[in-house]
A and B are shown apart, each in its own frame.
Chain A
Amino acid sequence: MRTFFFAALVVLAAQVPALSPAVAQVGAPPDPAALERVTKAMWPKRPEGWENRISYDETQAACSRFRNELPQAEFERVRAREAATIRFPADGNVLGDWKAGQKYANDGRGGTFTDRPMTNGANCYACHQMDLAELSYGTLGPPLVGYGKLRNYAPEEARAAYAKIYNSMATMPCSTMPRFGYHGFLTEQQMKDLTAFLFDPASPVNK
């Protein structure tokens, strides 16, 4: 799939210089300067308190441009860059309180321009099936039912899950899943609690 898409892009790119105006034809990409001008006008300034939020980084730019199907070299570059951002808890313990994790997984509030500052929910259920008893789950991500049990509660697997929540793109560049730790959307404690929700033997995810 990726190779096919890359091939298509090469063909497309090769055609572009042949066209006189940059957008002479439906399907051609827009003039980058025009796109830049339009996005600037859509969001002329960062709202108060949002100055430190990342609005558009190199990885987002690459995923946008290639529509999430990165050519191999770019894929490796992004993966390495994202992996380097991950910070594990200082004491090495990635497991918190699964009950708190369960609450965050179910909570989709926080972080929008109509929300007051608050503890953000993680909203994992928007995309994943987790506890079988929770029937309101989305299908944008794979089911995570029995996640820890299926991995024999192995500590290195729990560490990998913490890393996945921290920065999904360290293993899967352009993943649909948000980079919760990288953006500071979730706190370290929340990510530990969510990891425990997946890995605690007492968690309903593993029942």
Chain B
Amino acid sequence: MRTRRGCVAACAAILLLAAGSAPAQQAVDTEKELEKYRQMMSDPMSNPGFLNVDRGEALWTQKRGARNASLETCDLGMGPGKLEGAFARLPRYFADVDQVMDLEQRLKHCMETIQGLDTADILRRRFGAPGRVSDMEDLVAFIANKSSGMKFEVPLSHPKEREAYAIGEALFYRRSDFMDFSCATCHGEEGKRIRLQPLPQLNKPGRDAQMTMGSWPTYRVSQSQTRTMQHRLWDCYRQMRTPEPVYLSEGITALTLYLVKTAEGGEIQVPSIKR
């Protein structure tokens, strides 16, 4: 078990940074400071996200459900039980369900088919909150961490992967609802910001997309929770004033595949820690 001993100092520093809604001038300095802390953030001792990694590991091997089975035979695309590098190649096409899945969809599938688990409760706890631990966030942190140091690689070799990519790209530019926003409104240009918040450009291969996608799942200091891409996109749609998008829906996976493809070649360092 790793501990969160080192977190006290590091997290306090990050909290200070997050809290100071600094003037524009200071934004640049803040960015520099953050760079320094990033070193510290990838240190298991300072990053509470590694608590999720530990819990995820326990969940992976724990026997549960009607079949009293663990998840250890779950095939995440690299073969049953093979975790190294699996996250770096997701979302991907799975022949057994004839469908493109992201990690969370695949985990739900394995819980139901291998463990015979009733996932209603898992879905209710999809996003952690005070007093509510999310199995999904724990498992994703554990499994994604097994791809740390590796690079995203989604060759889109199956026609359904190419279809999902095309849908994801169209969704990225799809303007809708109360505010006429699309993802491209906020992530379609270089060097823009909303208020003082820098906005990564996510529709072009490059450093922004690679750094962004390579850092999820992440421990979010502002929320005191480790979050997955499912939650990030849920939150961006919330800001866009759409209705709540369905968790594990095909569209979120399509968008994720589009983003991962755009970030291809980017190095994964997770769980990271950010604002």
A residues with CB within 8 A of B: 21-26, 28-31, 34-35, 38-39, 41-44, 46-47, 50, 53-56, 60, 63-64, 67-68, 108, 111-114, 125-127, 135-140, 174, 176, 178-179, 183, 185
Contacts and interface: CB of A to CB of B under 8 A. Distances in A.
A26 B156 contact: yes
A88 to B, nearest CB: 21
Given A30-B167, A185-B178, A67 B244 contact: no
Given A136-B195, A140-B186, A35 B170 contact: yes
Given A43-B242, A44-B246, A53 B166 contact: no
Nearest to B23: A135
A124 to B, nearest CB: 11
Interface residues of B, number: 48
Contacts of A56: 176-177
Contacts of A54: 177-178
Contacts of B254: 38
A43 B180 contact: no
Nearest to A184: B178
Given A38-B251, A43-B245, A178-B179, A139 B166 contact: no
B243 A34 contact: no
A178 B169 CA distance: 22
A39 B251 contact: yes
Looking at chain B's contact residues, the main secondary structure is: mixed
A111 B24 contact: no
A-side interface mostly = loop
Contact of B243 (A43, A63, A68, A140): A43
B239 interface: yes
B238 A112 contact: yes
A34 B182 contact: no
Given A25-B162, A42-B246, A44-B246, A64 B195 contact: no
A26 to B, nearest CB: 6
5 contacts: A26-B165, A112-B239, A140-B186, A183-B178, A183-B179
A64 B238 contact: no
Contacts of A183: 178-180
